[in-house]
Amino acid sequence: MNKQELFAALESLGMRPGRGLGQNFLLDNNLLECIVRSAGVVRGMNILEVGPGFGALTSLMLDAGANVCAIEFDRRLAGYLRSTLGGRSNFHLVEGDACKVALDGLLPMPFHAVANLPYAVSSVFIARLLELPEPPASCFFMLQKEMAQRLAAVPGTGNYGALSVRAQLVYDLTLERVVPPEVFFPPPEVESALLRGTLKEQRPPREVRERTAKAAKVAFNQRRKKIVNSLGPLYGADNVRAALETMGLAADIRPERLTADQFIILAGELEKNNGAADAPEK
Ligand code: SAM
């Protein structure tokens, strides 16, 4: 979709792009094609797209033969999509809020997620994907650059935090490229980036992910503090010291030094020892 086509489509609906809904439409056809290629979209693939807008990305994925299920919140855009793409047998539109629509069972398995996400809801939506019993086999998202950096951050860097740990329990993540504001209309006030996520073959079960995410969240609440000080009040300082020792980690280690896998072990040790402390005496 070029600028003239977008303007004509906006005019036909008598609408202006809304900031609250993150309506920054992609204008660069080369970039759109690059997204479809890089996401590995092929015939028969099941794709979940959030925020199809005027269908610029959607129609390329449909042309590639993918089955696309797209969730669009804006009624006017949903109406536009029904009239332009509604006749295509591989297109399925869900009119609603991607933060609320039931995702489980929405698409046949396996499915993949490809989208130029509305930035305001990207963290909530990604959190929902991470919580699914069967998350998408891969994700390819346009995101606010800072969000992509946080998700893909490696230990020891300033962007690494609880969100990185939580996402990296489920996905191997890479920031593919930074995208300037000019390729969108209207241009967003921030830079964007393309993020690739590949589902890990070995994923911890849900309860392990939950307890690990909880420990990481508490540890990173005070990221400059040593782990023993941030986790001590919740799990007991002796318990934290013992867990770190079992793992061969320094007693004064800070959270940004631990990988997602180390957080899994740490949370498991903490729970094990907490459980032992809580157990009734025989
Ligand atoms: N895919 C189109 C493109 O690349 O040009 C539009 C992307 S635009 C960044 C974000 C789209 O998400 C808009 O169409 C907007 O109406 C839609 N949107 C915003 N919030 C949403 C939500 N909570 N659920 C579903 N769609 C939403």
Compute the average pLDDT of residues 240-250.
Answer: 97
| Domains: count for the chain | 2
Range of the domain at 65: 3-199
Same domain, 135 and 226: no
Which of 152, 178, 199 is a domain's end point?
Answer: 199
Distance between CA atoms of 186 and 273, rounded to whole angstroms? 54
- The 10s digit of each residue's pLDDT in 90-116 is 999 999 999 999 999 899 999 999 999
Mean pLDDT of 12-40: 95
Give yes or no: residues 53 and 20 share one domain: yes
**Nearest-atom index, ligand 1, CA of 1:** 5
- How far does residue 52's CA lie from ligand 1's centre (Å)? 6
The number of angstroms, rounded, from the C-alpha of 52 to the middle of its chain's C-alpha atoms is 17
pTM of the model: 0.93
**Residue 74 Cβ < 6 Å to ligand 1:** yes
Report the alpha-carbon distance of residue 209 to residue 200 in Å, rounded: 13
Q: Concatenated DSSP letters for 150-183?
A: HHHPPTTSTT-SHHHHHHHTTEEEEEEEEE-GGG
Residues 95, 186: Cα–Cα separation, whole Å:
23
pLDDT digits (tens, 9 = 90+) for 189-233: 999 999 999 999 999 999 999 999 999 999 999 888 999 999 999
CA 20 to ligand 1 center in whole angstroms: 10
**Can you tell me the distance from the alpha carbon of 247 to that of 241, in angstroms, rounded to the nearest whole number?**
10
Dist CA 143 CA 230 (whole Å): 31
Same domain membership, residue 177 and residue 98: yes
Sheet with strand 67-72: strands edge to edge? 91-95, 67-72, 46-50, 112-116, 138-144, 192-199, 171-179
Task: CATH number of the domain at 268, please.
Answer: 1.10.8.100
Residues 164 and 89 in one domain: yes
Does ligand 1 lie within 6 Å of residue 93's CB atom? no
Check if 142 has its Cβ closer than 6 Å to any atom of ligand 1. no
